[in-house]
Structure 1
Amino acid sequence: MSFFIPQAFAQSGAQPGQPGGMLPTLIMFGGLFLFMYLFIIRPQRKRQKEHTDLISALSKGDEVVMTSGLLAKVSKVDEDYVTVEAANNVELRYQKASVHAVLPKGTIKKVGASA
């Protein structure tokens, strides 16, 4: 009758309090948490802090790259929004979080001259 349903045999497992019980499992989970913190959580927090500092330091006249790839010059900064001048008499309004990077002064002219 054991042709279709194999019999289950109990393994001699370690019991709590015996060597090899909960300690290796706790060490494994602790190591996994340490790995996640060092290689995932901490670098992400650092990037987020750098981006927050970048956004808070925006001022009129800065040349920026938006997340959409737009190169523009900041013409007005509000609490949550930034107005950028993309071309002559073309102003666009973005959320501050859409700013990807601040460029050195004169970058837009340099890029425009080579195009």
Structure 2
Amino acid sequence: MFLAAQGNPTYSILLFAGMIVLMYFTILRPQKKQQQQRQEMMNGMKRGDRVITIGGLHGVIDEINNEDKTVTLDCEGVYLVFNANAIGKVLPRTEEAKVAAVPQTDATDETSKASEEETSVIAEDKTEEDK
């Protein structure tokens, strides 16, 4: 196969061109799409958005400084300044709505229900003993 390609330079050129086209579609094109998506994400960030840094820290954007390319995150009262490139993911609004829509059960409600049940069981036991 390689001996035949050495005889005619057209085969070598076609093989080389085919490898370049294959490399473009498997490596360069997806990378370019990913860069474009990341740039759109960075341009779409605004105050109040929930983000995750590349280190896994979750926070809410408090301030964006375009001159220094920094982002100040509010992480439950702790304000941290990050380079804008350290933002790994901006959580979409729909994801926030799903989290907010999930009802959270309050531990005190469950505890009070359990204590009410125990009280009623104890009261029933006492009435049975009195009989």
User: Same fold by TM (over 0.5)?
Assistant: yes
Structure 1 segment 38-77 matched on structure 2, within 5 A: 38-77=25-64
Is 1:31 the counterpart of 2:18 in the alignment? yes
Residue 102 of structure 1, CA deviation: 1.0
Distance in 2 between the 1:26 and 1:86 partners? 57
Task: Supply the AA of the counterpart residue of 1:92.
Answer: L
Is 1:86 the counterpart of 2:95 in the alignment? no
Larger Rg: 2
Structure 2: gaps (5+ residues): 106-131
Distance in 2 between the 1:104 and 1:37 partners? 31
Q: Pick the structure with more helix per residue.
A: 2
Residue 95 of structure 1, CA deviation: 1.0
TM-score if structure 2 supplies the norm length?
Answer: 0.64
Residue 38 of structure 1, CA deviation: 0.5
Q: Percent identity?
A: 26
User: RMSD of the TM alignment (CA)?
Assistant: 2.2
Runs of 4+ in 1 over 4 A off after TM superposition: none
TM-score if structure 1 supplies the norm length?
Answer: 0.73
Structure number with higher relative contact order (C-alpha < 8 Å, ≥ 6 residues apart): 1
